[in-house]
Amino acid sequence: MKPFYPLPQEIPLLLEGVQRALVRPLSQQPHGRINQVLQNGKRKDIYLLVDADNWDNNVCESTPFDQAGTILWCRETFSGYKQIGGRYVREKLHFKATEPDLPVSRWLLPVMMPIYVSRLWLEVLEIKVCRLMDLTHEEMYESGVRIADSYSRGMATDEGSVEAFNCGDGIRRVFYEIYDERFGKREISNPWIWYAAIKKVDAPS
């Protein structure tokens, strides 16, 4: 098991099971041409991006999702009441991602959340590293992009727009816009990203 910090915007989608993939940019972006992407033999969470023409461009990085089969327990901003003994009372827990306007005395940072408070558990099914624009429409859809996002952003206004969304063009446009909002204007540079297929699971008993 590994603690994970989903973005606040992702939490409702993950809870509903609508989002079934996670996307994160590599913290180190290769500058040269990458010929190979290799997985470490002993540490399955470490990947090496190889530029065979210029070894100075090689990038070695650990994935934020660990490896396939890992269970991620998610930390998020929360509020709670501790009973005698120091444990939080489950019935009095509140979560900012789904109750943003709730008047609480104070919100606690995600890093302060103990594992037994977590309400969101994810199993990592598959991990890959690739260029942002190499993702398929289906992979973008799995990241939680929906036609409602297209309407809310003024991209879909008629039946033709819906048809364009469903065939993939709209999905791609909305996905890129959401990516830019979350990670900065990096879509133009076609950055290298981590892509993890996940599924929501029950907390272990």
β-partners of residue 129 are 194
**Amino acid occupying residue 139:** E
Which of the four pLDDT bands, split at 50, 70 and 90, describes residue 55? confident
β-partners of residue 187 are none
- Mean pLDDT, residues 84-111 taken together: 92
- Mean pLDDT, residues 125-135 taken together: 94
Give the H or E element holding residue 139: helix 137-142
Instruction: Identify the CATH homologous superfamily for domain 2-75+118-201.
Output: Hypothetical protein. (2.30.130.30)
Q: Is residue 98 pLDDT above 70, yes or no?
A: yes
Domain ranges of the chain: 2-75+118-201
- Mean pLDDT, residues 30-56 taken together: 84
- Mean pLDDT, residues 81-102 taken together: 91
Distances (CA, A) of 150 to 46, 153, 172, 179: 35, 5, 10, 14
pLDDT at 36: 87
pLDDT at 169: 74
pLDDT digits (tens, 9 = 90+) for 59-80: 999 999 999 999 999 999 999 9
Residues 6+ apart with CB under 8 A from 99: none
Q: Which of 201, 9, 66 is nearest to 120 (CA)?
A: 201
- Mean pLDDT, residues 33-60 taken together: 85
Give the integer Cα–Cα distance in Å for 43 and 38. Answer: 11
Residues 6+ apart with CB under 8 A from 83: 89
Model confidence, pTM: 0.86
pLDDT at 133: 92
Q: Is residue 110 pLDDT above 90, yes or no?
A: yes
Q: Is residue 132 pLDDT above 90, yes or no?
A: yes
State the chain's mean pLDDT as an integer. 87
